[in-house]
Amino acid sequence: MSTVVQLRQGRRAQPRPARLALLGTGTVGSAFVERYARLAAQGVALPDVAWLCNSRTQVGGGDDLHAALAQARAAARRRAGFPPWAEGESPKPGDIIVDATASETVADWHPEWLTRGVHVVTANKLGTGGDLGRALSIGDARALGGRYGDSATVGAGLPLLRSLRALIDGGDRIHAIEGVLSGSLAWLFSHHDGSKPFSALVRQASAAGYTEPDPRVDLSGEDVRRKLLILARAAGIALPAHEVVVESLVPDVLARAADADVDQALAALDDTLEARRAEAAANGERLCFVGRFDAGGARVGLRALPVGHPLCAGNGTDNRVAIHSDRYSAQPLVIQGPGAGAEVTAAALLDDVLAITHAQV
Tell me what the pLDDT averaged over the chain comes to: 90
CA distance 189 to 216: 15
Using the predicted structure, report yes or no on whether residue 232 has a pLDDT greater than 70. yes
Contacts of 227 (CB under 8 A, 6+ apart): 125, 129, 153, 154, 155, 179, 181, 182, 291
Q: Are 340 and 183 in contact (CB under 8 A)?
A: yes
The 3-state DSSP class for residue 23 equals strand
Beta bridge partners of 49: 20
Look at residue 85 in the predicted model and tell me its pLDDT. Answer: 60
pLDDT at position 62: 80
pLDDT at 112 over 90: yes
d(CA 47, CA 39): 12
Look at residue 12 and tell me whether its pLDDT is greater than 50.
Answer: no
Q: What is the pTM of this model?
A: 0.90
d(CA 43, CA 33): 15
> Of 92, 125, 196, 227, which one is the catalytic site residue?
227
pLDDT of residue 88: 55
- Beta strands 285-294 and 174-180, pairing class: antiparallel
* DSSP secondary structure code for residue 91 in this structure: P
First to last CA, the chain: 28
- pLDDT tens digits along 263-281: 999 999 999 999 999 999 9
Annotated catalytic, 227? yes
Cα 64 from Cα 33, distance rounded (Å): 10
Cα distance between residue 294 and residue 334, in whole Å: 16
Q: What is the pLDDT of residue 2?
A: 43
Pair 129, 229: CB distance under 8 Å:
yes
133 in Cβ contact with 241 (< 8 Å): no
Between CA 246 and CA 20, with CA 343 as vertex, the angle to 5 degrees is 100
What is the per-residue pLDDT across 334-361, written as a single tens digit (0 to 9) for each?
999 887 778 889 999 999 999 999 886 5
Q: Where does the pLDDT of residue 212 fall: very low under 50, low under 70, confident under 90, or very high at 90 and above?
A: confident
Provide the phi-psi class of 90: left if phi over 0, else alpha when psi is between -120 and 50, else beta. beta
d(CA 250, CA 220): 6
How many CB atoms neighbour CB 82 within 10 A?
10
Q: What is the CA radius of gyration of the chain?
A: 22
Instruction: Give the containing element (helix H, strand E) for 84.
Output: helix 84-87
For residue 16, name the pLDDT band (cuts at 50, 70, 90): low
